Structures are given as structure tokens and as C-alpha cells.
Structure 1
Amino acid sequence: MTDLKRSLQDKSRAPPNGTLVKAFQQFFTARVENPGAINLFQARLLSITWKHLKALQSELEDNEWQDVFSVESLERMLFVISEAHCLPEARDTILKVARFAYLELCADHGFGPNSISRAALLLYINLVASNGNPEEARHVIVKFGGQLRGAKPSPWLNVLKGFALKDDRRQLRKIASELQEHGVKFDQASHEELIKLMISQNLAKAVQVAYECPINGDQAPSVAAKTAAIRYAILNSEVAWAKPIFESLPQDLSPETIGIKLLWDAAQGHSASSLAEKVTQPLKAALTIADVNNLIQYANTVPNSQLAVDFAKLAERWDLVPDERTNILLLESFIQAGNVERTLELLEHKIDTSFLASQHLALANKLITMLCLSEQKDELFQQISSLLDPLFQDNVQLTAETIAALTHMLLYRHDWEAISDLLRPRLGALDSEGKALIRNELTNFMLDKGQTDSDVWEVYQLFKLAFAEAGVDVRTELMCSLFDRKRSDLAVLVFGHMRQAEIRSRRPKPDTYARCFQGLARTADATNLELVHNMLKLDLEVELNTRIFNGLMLAYAACEMPEKSMEIFRQILQSDEGPTEKTIPIFFKVCERHHNGAQEAIKMMAKVKKLDINIDRRLYTSYIEAVAAQCEFELASEAIDKMQAEIGVPPTSTTIGLFYNAIPYQYWKDEVEQWALKKYPELWAHLIETPQSEHEEGQKFDGITNEVWV
């Protein structure tokens, strides 16, 4: 299907019909048991392939036609689309695909038009109503009213749900009042059924809108509907809108309302012991373990792990036996609190991990994520593996957060093959935000200075395959981190991969070149400097600017090619943009190595003063280093003596250290020491505490640099 998309774009030959039919059919047959998620890329492929096969259906073999256009195949399409998690950006496209299937089922294939089954109609009605088009769902119900009569639950509930999701109260009231015309009565029971439908699908805002929908005959909602709405509001931190509903309940404690009133009190901040005192012996018999579970669930919404434990203890006080849900809610509480010890204890004694994975997938995802990010992740590896085995075996969709946590754990276990096996089948099903979580894990690992060069490069190979769409910013950051590791060879490879990108937006920008030249300057890599400079000359998409020229100047100077740097400086002078404030300090760096560097530096400083350019500490110090590097002891020491008068700030121990480091030969360094002891004894005393190391041109103070940036 991807090949078809590409062939339509470049007008090349499309894949064979049989191949496309098989791909289209397998997309849906593979998802019948586990629908998973459908992203925008997949939805577009389905839409393109359907249109292509529809246009060529007369050319298909009988078995090929059956695999796409038979009733069985079309109903399978609707089932998978209705059950799958459709990512928001894919919703409009996938609804079009569902409509293709619906219209095909309604078409006349020799048995008359509109011979679509009730099951398919109900799937389509629920699908469009739940995804922003309740008007279409209403139209379908009216059109096929006789065929849908007696369906339980009534498809009209889905239409009401759709308008509630859209917060369209006017249409909601209109539909509710018109239902009687269609043989449906919106009474207390229907209202209660609608509320419970919303709650079962966790449609928070829609619950409130649906509750306010008027009931035929101006009846009040049932106590069961009120209780369900209040409970849902409390457990979803929406207590304010439920307050009038709660106040409409009978004020006396009764077996019918004891559970919801305890939950309400808990939401008002009452402790477990306070709730226990409210329950008299006659009312105790009306309580169930579900009431205790609701209290624990509320504690989890706060979240407050200790409160959850306190509420759980009420079960014993009220002679109730904890059930499976009690243990699951406690597990959720311990996971929220990051309490690995209590979590493992509960898993060992009270919860079947295979059941957890199959019946409580969202919680299983949170559990795996917590264990993977735990400081004890190595010790917990077997426990994590046992949780994952049934999920992998059933090809269950993991959340992006879980995949990211697993990636994190496997990265720090240096298990590259396992990372590849984890990501290869799952990345395609994630949206852009989900992919970003995983990409960030790989990126953070590569930027971790505690990792070896070889491990970073292994992960980069994975990154390159998994995130081919990664932008220039991310790749530039990786390139710079490799320069920081003194691995300019690898950094330039990353740069080269950007240059080879097929999509223009992923190719190097002027900033990328500038930062690459900055890195080459820091590593003094002449070979790769020539290579990247040649790439720049051939790159017609990049407009040369002073920042790139600054980088080239700095890099050629660092690679002992000051004449080349001077040539580039002349190009800057002749350009429309001209020099920037960073060009002059770089020029002084060039002067450190140029055969006529001292004279060039003196002339430049004279021009700077004449043109009234602001001279800050960095620029002035760069001048001192330039003349010192040319063994101009008198010029450098005189500049330091005049520093306060020239730029308004005094020299520091760092200024003296830069002078000492820049001047070559130990003889001159000793002269600097004698001069500093005499003129700046306090600064020298502070400087001498800095560690020194031996270099080819003599001793240098470690960590004292005046690095200039492009």
C-alpha cells in the first residue's frame, strides 16, 4: 500500500492488484482479535488503496473481489474500524473509509439496494456518532428505522451520545423530544441507560450534558441515575457540578444511598475512621465491597496511597471480603506512589500477572513503566519480562509511555537487539507525540556523557533507522555531542547523513554548517574540515552568511591554516552582511597563528577603537592572547595594565592565566610569572592554585580558556 502511494505520487507503475488486495485484506483480518490503533499514515493508505481497487474492481479476479467487496469483508472492515483506537488526526480519514464500506454494503449487488445487515448498521451508527457526526447516525436510523426497531440498546442512544460529546444541548433536547415519533420513549429508564452508556465509555463531559437532557413528561432522573452521575463526577474530580444532584437525594441515610453518601463525605475530606463511625449496625448490611472499592478509587484520584490503604481496611471493619477489584485498586495506588516493595508484595500474593495483563491493560502498562524506571530495574528485569510475555504473545498494544520506559531500561542494559525487536513492530502504530517520547529516550542516551563512544554509535544506528523523519535540530544536537566527545569522525558522519536526506527540510541549514565548523575547530580536524567545506561549496540550497564564514575562519585557524582564514575574512568584508560582533574575536584567534599576526592584531584593535565598536572583556582578552601567542610580551602585558582604562573592567586571575597559556615557550611563561608576581601578586596567588599540565609549548593552566563562538 505504501508502494501504491509512492507510485501515484511519481506516476510510476502501481503494485499488482492481487498484492494490493492481499495487503488491504490482511490489514483488517489481522486486527479482528486485537484492533489496536490506527494512525493517520495507515488511514491514508487504506483510503488510497480502497479508491484504487474500487476504480479497478471490474478487472479483479473473483477471489480478489471477494476479499475486498464481499459482505463478509466489508462488515469486517466496519467492525475493526469501530473497535480500533482511532488517533485524533486520523479520525476524518478513517471515517471516510468506513463510509466507503457502508455505501458499498448499501449498494445493489443483485439483491436490491440497502440490503445491509442490522449488525453492520449498528456498527456504522455507533462509529459515526462517537466520532463527531451524530447527524449522519440520525439519518441512517431514520432511513433504516424498520430494520432497527427493537434493537437493544436503542441506536438512538448512540445519537444522543454523539450530540452530548459535541456539547450540543439544543440537538440533544430536540432528539429526546422527537424520539416518541420514532417509536422510542425517552423515559427514566432510557435516561438511566444513556448515563450508564456514557460512564461505561468514560466520556466525562458527555455524562454531564446527558444527565441534563430532559426526560419525557418532565420526570426527574431516577435515584440510580443520580447515584451513577454523582459517583462518576467524584471519581473524575468534577464534584462541583454534582453538588445539586447530591442535594436532591433524600437527606436521611438509607440502604439505597449509604454508599454514595460515604463517597461524597470522602470527597469532602473525611477520614476512613470518620466514615466508619457513620455506619450503624442496620446500615452495615447494605454496604458491599463495591462501596469500599469506590472509596479506594477516590483515594487514587487524589492521589493518596495511605488514604487508599486506610479505606481498604474498612472492608474488614464492615465484615466485607475484598475482591479482585480491591486488589487491583490497591495495586494502582502503590504504582502511583512508586512503592516497588508493596507493589511486588501484592503481585506475589494476591494478583495473577497474566490476568492483569489481559484484563487490566492500562494498569499493566503503568506497572511496567514504573518498574522499568525504578532504580532497581536490573533486579526487577525478570519480573518485567514475566509481565511482558503474555502481552507480546497476544500482540497487545502497549502505550507510548510504556514503550519509552522499556526502551530506557534496555538502553541502559545495552541490549540493542531487544530494543530493535521492541520498536520495529510498534513505532508505526504511534502518533507523533508517542514517537517523540521514544526518540527522546534514544537521544538522551546518546547525549549521556557517561556512555562510551561505541555504545552511543550503536544507538545512533538504531535511531537512524527508526526515526528517519527526525529533524535537523535533533541531529545537529547529536552531531555537536560527538564533537564534545572529540569524535569529529563520527560527528561528520552524522552531518553527512543530513546532507543525504531526500527531503529538503531534513538537510543541513546555515546554522548546521556553522556549528559543524565550530566543532571541527575544537577538534582541529583538518581532513574533515576540507570534506565539509567541499560539501558547502556544492550545496546550492544554503545561503552563505557571516556565521558560516566565522566558523570557517575559526576552523582553518585551529587547523594551522591561518592564511586560508584570512582569505575567508576578506570574503566577509566584501559580503553584504559584513562582519558581526563575533567576527573580530575570531580574527584575533587567527592572528595567534598567522605569520604576521601581531601586526594584524594591532591594526585591527586600532580600527575597533576608531570605529567606536564596543569592546567587552572577551574581545579585549582575545587581543591579549593574539599578541601573546606571537611572543609580544610587552604588548600583552601593557594591554593588561591598561585594561581598566580601556574597557572599564580590571584584569582578573583568568586574564593572567590566558596570557600565560597563550604565550609559547617556557622562557616566556617564566617571564609572565615574574611580571605577575610583581604587578598582580594577589591575582597570581589565586591563579597558582589552578592545576597545570605539560604541553608541547610549555606549561598551561587547566580549564582556563577564552573560547569564541561563531
Structure 2
Amino acid sequence: MRSQLTRHVLRRLLASDAHVPLLPLRSTFVLSRSRPTFRVYPVGSRVVRTIQKRTFVKEFFGQKSPRALKQLETEPGYATLLRFHASENIGVQDSRRPPTPDELVTAWREFFAYKTRHRRAVNSTQALSAHRVLLHLSSSSANSRSALLSKSDLRNAMECLLKPPRDYFEHHVDFSKEIYSEIKKRGAHQPKDFNMLLTALSQYGKALEARDMVLEYFQSNQDKEPLDDRLRHFIPVIQGLAEEGREPELLDLFAKAEEAGFECEETVHCVMATYFAKKNKVEETKTWFNKPIKGGNSPLPTTYYEILRFALRNGEKEWAMGIYQDLISKIESGSWKSNKACWDTAYQWAILLLGKGMDHIEHMMKVAHDFNQDDPESQPNIETVNMLVQIATDKNDPYMAERFIALSKKLGFEPNWKTYILQLEYRIRANDLDGAFTAYQALEDLDVSTKDRGIEALNSLIRAMCAVPNPVYERVLDVTSYLEQQLVTLEPETVASICMAFLKNDETYEVIDTLSLHTAYYSVVERSMVQEAFVNYCLYKKTSTARIWDAYSLLRQFFPETKPESRVRIMEALFERNRADMAAHTFGHMRAIGNPRLRPTLDTYVRFFEGIGKCPDEESMKIVHNMLKMDTTIQPNTLLYNALMIAHVACGLPYQSLDLWKDITTSPEGPSYASLEIVLRAYEITPDGDALADELWGKMQRMEIDIPRHVHFAYVVTMAAHSHLTKAKSLLEDMEKAFEQPPDSTELGHVYNALPSREMKEEFKTWAVEEYPKAWGQLKAKYKKRDQEGLAVFKVRRRPWKA
């Protein structure tokens, strides 16, 4: 049974912020029974935004109590490892004592025993945390023998690291090296320990380092290890070099291995032949495929399949025919008569190379059955059909695949889990989700543990079902619950798909359950994938504001480590929706985060106040302004003062804005061009602003400041707003001379809208029609409405202003 934690412990640790309490998303949050469990409640029938209360009357009439939400879980021991890692982070202040060495050893054993038992990969965050624990225990001065990891503990961890994670694996490399170093330091290392290290390095992008190590090891252990055992260490390194595409090093290492007595076995033969086949190198591929295999064994089925695909791609059908004829002759002559893999390969080549149909394949299977009457294990079976279905799937030919399934039924073969997984795959590719779900139901009835490939296929099924315009939510929950029963952690992309689908249907509880059951097992990178899906959902323009707030609340609850930039993007999206109150809440949530790295910076304050400029709301502005006054980490500068001025002007508070202007003028940094535009716009709504604007304009003229167009135009509008129409017209003409470009329709519209009387508007219209007929003609096409005083105004694009 998995260890149970309180709902927020793990998320606090991931955010390096364990001491800050997280507010519950809903007041109905309670702890629930542990995973796994079926989610058997109906979908689409709840109103999740309503807070429910259980009363005697509701109980009497049989009404249900509020949903009990699933508890956030993590793997046994991991919370302790993570807590230790968090306590080591610089700047994290945690009042709780860090785990003792004895607790860390117990947690280590529980964690890696669980990983081994359930064949789970160690993700990058887990590898990093366990690595830090190992370093701590290795340097610990504790005298307790129980605080020492045994050689078995270290080897179990190293074996777990060989299962590749879904995210990056740099930490796996460092951790594997440290484990091997610790084993070696104790003088207890064995050849298998070295082989595990080579395997880890080779499959995680460090094949060159593994090559150097294996060559040195081979020379220095001549008297300590048998030759065959030493030669076996070359195999994972050869595989790693091929995977990384290091052809010169690959050929060189193979040559050195051969000189030392290495014979090419099936695995290495497959690596070398398929490496060149995938690169379409004809001569090299032929040479390596024809290379004798140790013991006279046949090439692996994988080798045959890749060679066949290579031949068909590169016009080497005649050469492939020779391989096929040689294969058939060895089967018929008896040397490979009982080799079922060779029979299966023959069916495969008959279809792809010779274009044989279903009748011919059925005949070949009957011949194989007759040839091996005394050896049932060599006779065709469901695995033979699975291999043929795989061919059809790779060819993206669902019709052929279905015919092979029908053939298996005709021959009396009982489908196994792989058969249904293949059906899932090709039906999903054909967009036959009903058929894919039918295959899933058959798989479910088998009552077998789902293999890795099956997990991938079922994840694909869930994503496909969530991607359709109208998902069948019961089916999504059915497959999800099936995997949860088997303690399978869904892939991050799948969790994101489920969450997005259920958010669109207002099934918030399903989203909470999904996140609770799966995100605790993710690394930081995997969590960021789900997190990004929530951020994008909040930014999607067609998402309703209510759903955005639900998604944001879940994001804040389950992903407290969300970067400030993502939070700011959501805040700005709320401003675009004219919800300054919600934007202020998002800012307040950032301000309340305990981790200093995630709190608002000066730029965050600037972007908030600029948002107020687009969506004025005095109460929201004052709330955040008060936060700024209390924030000792922020040192105001011109940029911040500009943003504050924008917010105050937008909220109709010009005098407070002018107080900020005084702070700018007396500061060492002084005003910027943006400051000049903003103060002129403040003068625009100030009762005596025309005189102040004239004074500032005169000062700029005397100082011979190079005035940009946006500052010049701000002065024009200010003059128009204070009834100085003649001066505004003159300034517009000056602007055309100064910037060699006449006013456009938007600029004329803003001047027209700023004029305070109907007579002035008519006079300006007459003048503009004569002076700028083209621009005014474009403006006339825009929608005209009435302002609060009943005057006509054009609906033109809002004047942009930036701090």
C-alpha cells in the first residue's frame, strides 16, 4: 500500500516552500481512501462550483454528501528523500528538522524496493534527490550501523536507474557513477556492477566515456576476470555508440573487441547491421548482415525486418530475394526447422517482399505445423499472428490487420494482451475510436498486468478519446480507472489531455482526482508539461472566464512551483477580459508565496499597473499599490513610477499621478520619454492641466529635446481636451512637418473624441475633411457611438502606453 501524505506536503516540497500553507481549492476538500479505486460516479451530472453542505434533511431524503476527493499520494519513502533535498536548498527556511540518517536509509530502501517491485522508472527529480541523500550518507559522521546503506541497497538502486525515464537523464548518469564509486570504495565491486555502470552510461548519451572505461577495464583485469566475461562488457558500449551515431568510434571499438577475441553474437550483429541499414548505406549493410554469427545461429527477427525494409527502400529487392531463399532452404533442410522465429520471418518476407496474400500465408502456417508436429513450441501461434498484425500496423493498413485477426480466429488461436494492444494501435491510427475501445474492453477482460507497450497504447487511447470535439467521458474514466487499478502512472501528456477535456465539461472533481493520483509521481520536467497545458488553457481566448478561474485555481493548488512569468501571462489575460479584480488576486497569490524566487519582481509590478491602464479598476489598483508599499525588496525607479502614473490616470486620479511625476523629476534617474507622454495624458484629465502642459511643452522646447511622435501627439490631445482647438489643429500640422507623415485616421479619431463640445467636433470635422480627406474617410467607416455626455465619439483603437 502506498504511503499516505497530507494533500499539500509533496507540492510544498517541490516548490521548495514547505512552510507556507496552501489554501484549499474548495471548502469541501477532505481526505479519501488510498489509490487504487474505481471512479464509479456518473459523469456530467454535477454542478461542481456550488459548495454543498450535508444536513439531516438531505440525509433523510437520500441526497448525496459532497464528493470525497482522492488524497495526494507519493511512492513509499520518496517524501523523506524529497524533504531532505528541499532542506538542502539554499534560501529555504524550514522550521522542521531534516530527516535523520536512519530515516533516510529506511526511506531509500522503501523507495527502491517499490520501484523494483512495480518495474517503475526513476524520474530525474527522484534521481537527483536520491543522489543528494547518498552523498549525505556517504559523508555522514553518524556512528549508527543502521545508517549505512548496504551493498544490496546500492545495487538495487543502480538496477532501477537502468529503466529509462520519460524526461531527461543527466541526473541518472551522475547518480550511477556515484553508486559505483561508493561500491568500489568499499572494495566490494563485482563485474556486474561495472556492467551496470557501462549500460547506464551507454544508454544515457555517455558512450564515449563508457568506451574509455571498458578499454581500460579490459586491460587492467586480465588476471581477475575470465576473457568471456570481460568481452561481454563491450556489448552495451557498442549499442550506445550505435545509438549516438558515432560511426568511427563504433567501428574502432568493434575492431578492438574482435582483436581481443570477441565473436559477433546475435545482439551485436543486429546492432551493427541495422545501424547501417537505417542509414541506407548499401555496401556496409550487406557486409555486416553477411557477417557470420557466433555458433552458426540465425539473425534476430528484428534484424531480418530492418534488412527487409532497407532493401525495399533502396531498390535491393534482388539481394533480399537471395536472403529469403537462403532462409527457406535452411528451414527446409532442417538446420533451422525448429526455429519458430525463422518461420515467422518467412511469413513476414512473403508478404512484404513477394506480395503474397492471406491464402498463401495460411498455407505456409499449415506447412510449418506439419513440419513441427512433435515440437508444439515451434508451431505457429498467436505470437505469429501478432507479428503479422505489427507489419500491417507499420504499413498503416488497418484492413490488412483485421484480416490477420480474422485468420487467427480461423486457425483457433486465442488472442493475448499483445493482440489487443496491436488492435488498439492500428484502430487509433485509423481514427476508429469505437473499435479501439472494444479492443480495450477485451484486454480488460483478460485480467492481466498491462505491459509497458500496453501502457503506452492505452495512454494513446485516452488522449485520442479526449481530443475529439465531444468526448465520451464515461469511456475516458473507464480506461483511466483500469490503469489506476494497476498502479500505473499516466503519462504527463495524457494527464494534460484528461484535465483539459474535463475542464471543458466543468468536471472539476475529475481533474482534481487525476492530478492528485498522478502528478506526485512526476519529475519537475514532467510536471511542467501538465502545468503548461493549464497555462495555455487559461490563455486560450475561447475559454470562458469562469473556467479560466477554475483552471487557474487548480494550477495554483497543484503546481505552486509555477514560474512567475506564466502567472503574469494569466494575469494579463484576465486584464484583457476586463477582470482586473481577478488579475489582482493572481498578483496577490504571487505576493503570498513563501519562496522569494517566485515572488513578484519590479517588472511584475510594472506589468500589473500597465494592465490597470488597459482595464481601470481603482480598488484593485489600490490593493496592489499597498502591497508595493509593504514590499521591502522593491526599489522604485522611473519605470515603476511610470506604471503607477498610468494606473492612476486610467482610474481617473490625475492629482495622485502628478505626485508621482514629482517623484520622477526629483529622482537621480529622471523622466523618460514614456514619462513625458504619461504626464501629458495626466494633464489631459486634470482641470488645470492645459497650463501645466504648456509649461512642460515650453520647457522641452527650450531644452531642445528631440520630441518623439507619441509625446507630440499626447500634447495635441491634451490641448484638444481643454478646448484649445486652434492650437490642436496647428500642432497636428506641425506634427506632419516634423515627422514627414500626416496624422492617420486613429490619431484624428482620438483628437475628435477628446473635444468637449458638439460645436468643436463639427468644426474639427470640417477642417479634417479639407486637410486630411483620405484619413478622415477611413475614420468615417468606423463605428460611431455616444459617450456618457451624449457626444459622438468614434470607436477607434485604444491609445497604447507603456511604462
- Which position in structure 2 is the counterpart of 1:4? 84
Structure 2: gaps (5+ residues): 1-80, 330-341, 369-379
- Which position in structure 2 is the counterpart of 1:597? 689
User: Pairwise mapping of residues 126-141 of structure 1 onto structure 2 (< 5 A)?
Assistant: 126-127=199-200, 130-131=203-204, 132=206, 133=210
Report deviation, 1:263.
7.0
Matched, 1:88 2:177: no
Report deviation, 1:253.
8.7
- The AA in structure 2 aligned to 1:39 is N
1:10-66 per-position Cα deviation (integer Å, ceiling 9, x unaligned):
7995433443233222112222222323233322322333344455586337xx46x
> 1:243 and 1:430, CA in 2 relative to 1: closer, same or farther beyond 3 A?
farther
Q: The residue matched to 2:469 in structure 1 has which SS? A: coil
CA distance, structure 2, for counterparts of residue 146 and residue 245 of structure 1: 50
Q: 1:78, 1:123 within 8 Å by CA — same for their partners in 2?
A: yes
Report deviation, 1:81.
3.3
Matched, 1:26 2:75: no
- Which position in structure 2 is the counterpart of 1:463? 555
CA distance, structure 2, for counterparts of residue 227 and residue 175 of structure 1: 25
CA distance, structure 2, for counterparts of residue 88 and residue 206 of structure 1: 26
Q: The residue matched to 1:708 in structure 2 has which SS? A: coil
CA distance, structure 2, for counterparts of residue 35 and residue 317 of structure 1: 35
- The AA in structure 2 aligned to 1:361 is I
Of 138, 143, 163 in structure 2, the residue corresponding to residue 59 of structure 1 is 143
Q: The residue matched to 1:508 in structure 2 has which SS? A: coil
Report deviation, 1:160.
4.4
- Which position in structure 1 is the counterpart of 2:755? 663
Q: Which has the higher contact order (CA 8 A, sep 6+)?
A: 2
3-12 vs 453-462, greater mean Cα deviation? 3-12
User: Pairwise mapping of residues 155-554 of structure 1 onto structure 2 (< 5 A)?
Assistant: 157-158=235-236, 160-162=238-240, 164-165=242-243, 167=246, 168-169=249-250, 170-179=252-261, 186-187=263-264, 190=265, 192-195=266-269, 219=292, 224-225=298-299, 228-232=302-306, 249-250=322-323, 255=328, 276=357, 297=390, 300=393, 305=396, 307-310=397-400, 313=403, 328-344=421-437, 346-347=439-440, 357-358=450-451, 360-377=454-471, 380-536=472-628, 539=631, 541-542=633-634, 544-554=636-646
TM-score normalised by length of structure 2: 0.69
CA distance, structure 2, for counterparts of residue 356 and residue 620 of structure 1: 74
Structure with the largest fraction of helix: 1
> 1:284 and 1:624, CA in 2 relative to 1: closer, same or farther beyond 3 A?
same
Report deviation, 1:381.
1.3
- The AA in structure 1 aligned to 2:157 is M
Q: 2:648, 2:654 within 8 Å by CA — same for their partners in 1?
A: yes
Q: 1:483, 1:523 within 8 Å by CA — same for their partners in 2?
A: yes
1:287-316 per-position Cα deviation (integer Å, ceiling 9, x unaligned):
978788667646655xx64x4434654787
> 1:333 and 1:693, CA in 2 relative to 1: closer, same or farther beyond 3 A?
farther
- The AA in structure 1 aligned to 2:160 is V
1:112-171 per-position Cα deviation (integer Å, ceiling 9, x unaligned):
xx6x6x987876665566454366567788859988899999666445445555643222
> 1:529 and 1:45, CA in 2 relative to 1: closer, same or farther beyond 3 A?
same
- The AA in structure 1 aligned to 2:459 is N
> 1:250 and 1:485, CA in 2 relative to 1: closer, same or farther beyond 3 A?
closer
> 1:455 and 1:276, CA in 2 relative to 1: closer, same or farther beyond 3 A?
closer
> 1:577 and 1:219, CA in 2 relative to 1: closer, same or farther beyond 3 A?
same
Q: How many residues align?
A: 673
- The AA in structure 1 aligned to 2:180 is R
CA distance, structure 2, for counterparts of residue 313 and residue 17 of structure 1: 61
> 1:507 and 1:148, CA in 2 relative to 1: closer, same or farther beyond 3 A?
farther
Report deviation, 1:479.
1.7
- Which position in structure 2 is the counterpart of 1:705? 798
652-661 vs 607-616, greater mean Cα deviation? 607-616
Structure 1: gaps (5+ residues): 108-113, 181-185
- Which position in structure 2 is the counterpart of 1:40? 124
> 1:253 and 1:77, CA in 2 relative to 1: closer, same or farther beyond 3 A?
closer
CA distance, structure 1, for counterparts of residue 203 and residue 737 of structure 2: 76
Q: 2:503, 2:547 within 8 Å by CA — same for their partners in 1?
A: no
Q: The residue matched to 1:692 in structure 2 has which SS? A: strand
CA distance, structure 2, for counterparts of residue 426 and residue 204 of structure 1: 40
Q: 2:593, 2:599 within 8 Å by CA — same for their partners in 1?
A: yes
- The AA in structure 2 aligned to 1:33 is R
> 1:427 and 1:28, CA in 2 relative to 1: closer, same or farther beyond 3 A?
same
1:638-697 per-position Cα deviation (integer Å, ceiling 9, x unaligned):
555776556544455544542343234xxx135414652686397479637615255257
Q: 1:134, 1:162 within 8 Å by CA — same for their partners in 2?
A: no
Report deviation, 1:443.
0.8
Q: The residue matched to 1:360 in structure 2 has which SS? A: helix
> 1:98 and 1:321, CA in 2 relative to 1: closer, same or farther beyond 3 A?
farther
CA distance, structure 2, for counterparts of residue 709 and residue 55 of structure 1: 54
- Which position in structure 1 is the counterpart of 2:54? none
Q: 1:592, 1:629 within 8 Å by CA — same for their partners in 2?
A: yes
1:614-636 per-position Cα deviation (integer Å, ceiling 9, x unaligned):
654x5554334322322334434
Report deviation, 1:504.
4.7
CA distance, structure 1, for counterparts of residue 691 and residue 728 of structure 2: 13
499-508 vs 248-257, greater mean Cα deviation? 248-257
CA distance, structure 1, for counterparts of residue 311 and residue 456 of structure 2: 22
> 1:193 and 1:663, CA in 2 relative to 1: closer, same or farther beyond 3 A?
same
- The AA in structure 2 aligned to 1:27 is F
CA distance, structure 2, for counterparts of residue 2 and residue 327 of structure 1: 39
Q: 2:176, 2:197 within 8 Å by CA — same for their partners in 1?
A: no
Q: The residue matched to 1:225 in structure 2 has which SS? A: coil
Of 669, 676, 684 in structure 1, the residue corresponding to residue 765 of structure 2 is 676
- Aligned residues: CA RMSD: 5.0
Q: 2:242, 2:271 within 8 Å by CA — same for their partners in 1?
A: no
- Which position in structure 1 is the counterpart of 2:67? none
CA distance, structure 2, for counterparts of residue 504 and residue 527 of structure 1: 26
Matched, 1:687 2:776: no
1:174-199 per-position Cα deviation (integer Å, ceiling 9, x unaligned):
1233246xxxxx15xx2x24345899
1:430-477 per-position Cα deviation (integer Å, ceiling 9, x unaligned):
345433321121112222444454543333233224333332321211
CA distance, structure 2, for counterparts of residue 565 and residue 673 of structure 1: 32
1:319-348 per-position Cα deviation (integer Å, ceiling 9, x unaligned):
988966565445323323544345345556
Q: 2:657, 2:682 within 8 Å by CA — same for their partners in 1?
A: yes
CA distance, structure 1, for counterparts of residue 268 and residue 675 of structure 2: 71
CA distance, structure 2, for counterparts of residue 126 and residue 244 of structure 1: 36
> 1:386 and 1:317, CA in 2 relative to 1: closer, same or farther beyond 3 A?
closer
338-347 vs 390-399, greater mean Cα deviation? 338-347
Q: 1:259, 1:291 within 8 Å by CA — same for their partners in 2?
A: yes
1:569-594 per-position Cα deviation (integer Å, ceiling 9, x unaligned):
34445556554443333233112112
> 1:655 and 1:151, CA in 2 relative to 1: closer, same or farther beyond 3 A?
closer
> 1:452 and 1:704, CA in 2 relative to 1: closer, same or farther beyond 3 A?
same
277-286 vs 407-416, greater mean Cα deviation? 277-286
CA distance, structure 1, for counterparts of residue 106 and residue 273 of structure 2: 39
> 1:52 and 1:473, CA in 2 relative to 1: closer, same or farther beyond 3 A?
closer
CA distance, structure 2, for counterparts of residue 238 and residue 411 of structure 1: 49
Q: 1:229, 1:242 within 8 Å by CA — same for their partners in 2?
A: no
CA distance, structure 2, for counterparts of residue 609 and residue 518 of structure 1: 29
- The AA in structure 2 aligned to 1:529 is M
